[in-house]
Structure 1
Amino acid sequence: MARTKAGLGAGARLADFLNASLMARVVPPEVVHEVLDAHGRNSRRIRAFPAVAGVYYVMALSLYPEASYEAVFSAVSQGLAWEAGAPQPAGVSKVAISLLRSRIGAQPLADLVERCCVPLADPAVHPAGFYRGLRLVAVDGSTFELADDPAIEQEFGRPGGRQGQAGYPQARCVLLAECGTHAILGANLGPYGSGEWALCQPLLARLGPGMLCMADRGFNGFEHWEQARATGAQLLWRCGSTRNLPVEKVLADGSYLSTIRPTGVSAAEAKVRAIKVRVIDYTLPNMPDSQPHYRLMTTLLDDTAAPLLELAELYHRRWAMESIYDELKTHLVQNRRVLRSRTPELVRQEFFGWVLMHYTVRWLLHQGAARHRIPHEDLSFVGHVQLIRQQQPLSGAFPPTAHEEASVVVPGAA
């Protein structure tokens, strides 16, 4: 069946829904140029659709996912038309857009996530994003559906079970994010069958001293703990309630000290590499949907500096990751369940553009929260998505070589 291009509604242009200047403030054009140059993907001559605009175009795909490729381009190219003195942007075909996306590839977008997605929370303004001076971050994985294409299925896989295969291929991703602001700090993507730890390992470089990283039960093997602890970050991870963790010293608050050791090595090596941990066991008796028993491991060994009850309460802030995935998969891409790209490389590219767009929305929300000292959870993510879609783009929002400093309208601002 032939596919019908999605429109924007009577009398509407995508330019009415997209504030490209905001994208350029969060992902500055000069940084985009540097990354494209580093990979040899930048445009060598002035084009109707240069590579730097292609990067913003990929971000815009997730901002307005139901619009056609050409409609998204018409918004992204507004600043380019202004730069050239033209009343309207030049038309570009869907083939030309696909060729440019293929030329850019995925790695520049992945590098931009690493360079531009930085922590946002300020302890003076948003104390809920910290615990005793430590920035709260969490890591978690999820899956999402991809276009039903043979090359994509071969690359990423398709889940199956007793009821047969799923309707679409799927990819697995892992995110590292700030709990207080929901800002994604790192992202990785792989096949559906990937182990979450394999996808998590490259994100460890984003951890460091001054952070407290929380994770669920998929990340509690000795090697996982050893590698994450080596970053200098403090850890608070859930582990299986049946895991054998011998009690070595019971602390005053009811938690206890234990030791974890590597397996499959000599006794001498296991002794050298052994790591002291603190174990916290607790229940939530007044919550009907809670698990019967929770067990946490932490690098915070001092029960007076980090009491059991505080850490037990703190761990459940890890559920911010569920909200982040909901923002990505439900509120940002709206009704489109499946990423639109139809080659493995462009799937990866679209994924990192998706992450950059989520960070852009969260950056905008953070500006309002910080300016008016409002908790992030009191501001609507969906409302800020709509704000970006509805703002008129400013002239020259992101010319090919530099961007103009632009004002940002924040809900509630004077």
Structure 2
Amino acid sequence: MSCGTRTVLDAVFGPTTNGETFYAPSLVRSLREGMIVLLDRNFAVQALVEAITGTGAHVLVRVKEHRRLPVLQRFPDGSYLSRLGAVAVRVIDCEITVSTSQGRRTGAYRLVTTLTDPHAHPATELIRLYHERWEIETSYLEIKSTILGGRVLRARTPAGVVQEVFALLVTYQILRLAMADATGIRQDIDPDRASFSIALNTARDLIVQAAGVLDGTTIDLIGTIGRRILADLMPDRRIRTRPRVVKRAISKYNARGTVDRTSYKATISIDILTTRAP
């Protein structure tokens, strides 16, 4: 996914007998110079990082706190130069504190990036950038809950599942492109403010009514979907936090009892650590 617009760059899937790290290398085919790839700890694999950098793209990945990465050079911002296999990387150790009306919580993070120049890419900017990785979770929500409404796939055969998954991705991509076109005409609008639900419901109305069918050679990039999105933009995103909830797949009850599902307004503070021994 593109973090800015949540458009699809590539997708790969298959039997659950193979995990995420098995399928991830197939996505390297869609990377190119100028991209920054955000990865979680599960993908901090030497071979994958080397494959990504081989395309000219950069990497920003979280690794386990105690992963041994030798200090080759210390930088003024507290980060240091190291190596991950054959790739030169920069390591940033930090603590992130999230404060809400319910209290404070501090977590330790170790980030590794191929953006090794601390002047061109300050550590605090990379830490804030890494938070954007969660945009893909919102995309999963829009596909599984907004488009599907929480329903499972209807196909009963492997070939049917492939066809249905790609149909979902195509539908999602068309809506996201329409949203990107609409918000792209206004430099003061962040794509985050476009409502996916409005885009989806407007598209459904147009299909049901057979309205807005193109006639002639003039193409309106904004269109009906875009105009409705721009007429009802969501507020600027505010920092919020919400507990992660674990549920049993066949039960409506939480696996860990009662869980607070409230979203709280939050403030975030970042401290870069310079004394942690790698």
For normalisation by structure 1, the TM-score amounts to: 0.50
Residue 369 of structure 1, aligned match among 183, 192, 204? 183
Q: Distance in 2 between matches of 1:178 and 1:196?
A: 18
For the 8 Å contact 2:35–2:58, the answer to whether it is kept is: yes
Residue 88 of structure 2, aligned match among 243, 258, 276? 276
For the 8 Å contact 1:279–1:297, the answer to whether it is kept is: yes
Which structure has the bigger radius of gyration? 1
Q: Distance in 1 between matches of 2:191 and 2:104?
A: 26
1:233 corresponds to: 57
1:202 corresponds to: 26
User: Of the two structures, which has the highest relative contact order with CA contacts closer than 8 Å and spacing of 6 or more?
Assistant: 1
Q: Distance in 2 between matches of 1:356 and 1:295?
A: 36
Q: Distance in 2 between matches of 1:405 and 1:218?
A: 47
Residue 115 of structure 2, aligned match among 300, 320, 342? 300
Q: Distance in 1 between matches of 2:17 and 2:106?
A: 27
Query: Which amino acid in the other structure matches residue 179 of structure 2?
Result: L
Q: Distance in 1 between matches of 2:142 and 2:212?
A: 29
Stretches of structure 1 lacking an aligned partner (at least 5 in a row): 1-176, 262-273
What is the DSSP-based 3-state SS (H/G/I as helix, E as strand, rest coil) of the residue aligned with 2:81? strand
Q: Percent identity?
A: 35
1:323 corresponds to: 138
Q: Distance in 2 between matches of 1:204 and 1:290?
A: 35
Q: Does 1:341 align with 2:165?
A: no
For the 8 Å contact 2:98–2:104, the answer to whether it is kept is: no
Deviation per residue, 1:314-372 (Å, 9 max, x gap): 10011101111111111111142x11111001101111111111011111111221123
2:174 corresponds to: 360
What is the DSSP-based 3-state SS (H/G/I as helix, E as strand, rest coil) of the residue aligned with 1:198? helix
Q: CA deviation at 1:289?
A: 7.7
Q: Distance in 1 between matches of 2:94 and 2:205?
A: 47
For the 8 Å contact 1:283–1:293, the answer to whether it is kept is: yes
**Structure with greater helix percent:** 1
1:139 corresponds to: none
For normalisation by structure 2, the TM-score amounts to: 0.74
For the 8 Å contact 1:279–1:296, the answer to whether it is kept is: yes
Q: Against the structure 1 CA distance between its residues 285 and 341, is the aligned structure 2 distance closer, same or farther, given a 3 Å change threshold?
A: same
Q: Distance in 1 between matches of 2:104 and 2:171?
A: 33
What is the DSSP-based 3-state SS (H/G/I as helix, E as strand, rest coil) of the residue aligned with 1:224? helix
For the 8 Å contact 1:369–1:375, the answer to whether it is kept is: yes
Q: Distance in 1 between matches of 2:15 and 2:104?
A: 32
Q: Does 1:285 align with 2:102?
A: no
Query: Which amino acid in the other structure matches residue 321 of structure 1?
Result: I
Q: CA deviation at 1:291?
A: 6.1
Q: Distance in 2 between matches of 1:318 and 1:223?
A: 21
Correspondences of 1:14-413 after superposition (within 5 Å): 177-261=1-85, 274-287=86-99, 292-336=107-151, 338-373=152-187, 374-391=189-206, 392-394=209-211, 407=220, 408-409=223-224, 410=226, 411=228, 412=230
What is the DSSP-based 3-state SS (H/G/I as helix, E as strand, rest coil) of the residue aligned with 1:190? coil
For the 8 Å contact 2:98–2:106, the answer to whether it is kept is: no
Stretches of structure 2 lacking an aligned partner (at least 5 in a row): 232-278
For the 8 Å contact 1:396–1:404, the answer to whether it is kept is: no
Q: CA deviation at 1:405?
A: 5.5
What is the DSSP-based 3-state SS (H/G/I as helix, E as strand, rest coil) of the residue aligned with 1:186? coil
Q: Against the structure 1 CA distance between its residues 320 and 395, is the aligned structure 2 distance closer, same or farther, given a 3 Å change threshold?
A: closer
Query: Which amino acid in the other structure matches residue 318 of structure 1?
Result: R
Q: CA deviation at 1:377?
A: 1.2
Q: Against the structure 1 CA distance between its residues 180 and 220, is the aligned structure 2 distance closer, same or farther, given a 3 Å change threshold?
A: same
Q: Distance in 2 between matches of 1:306 and 1:376?
A: 24
Q: Distance in 2 between matches of 1:395 and 1:294?
A: 49
Q: Distance in 1 between matches of 2:23 and 2:96?
A: 31
Query: Which amino acid in the other structure matches residue 256 of structure 1?
Result: Y
What is the DSSP-based 3-state SS (H/G/I as helix, E as strand, rest coil) of the residue aligned with 1:257? strand
Query: Which amino acid in the other structure matches residue 179 of structure 1?
Result: C
- Alignment root-mean-square deviation, CA: 2.1
Q: Distance in 1 between matches of 2:212 and 2:183?
A: 27
For the 8 Å contact 1:208–1:233, the answer to whether it is kept is: yes
Q: Distance in 1 between matches of 2:178 and 2:119?
A: 38
Deviation per residue, 1:109-168 (Å, 9 max, x gap): xxxxxxxxxxxxxxxxxxxxxxxxxxxxxxxxxxxxxxxxxxxxxxxxxxxxxxxxxxxx
Q: CA deviation at 1:379?
A: 1.4
Query: Which amino acid in the other structure matches residue 355 of structure 1?
Result: L
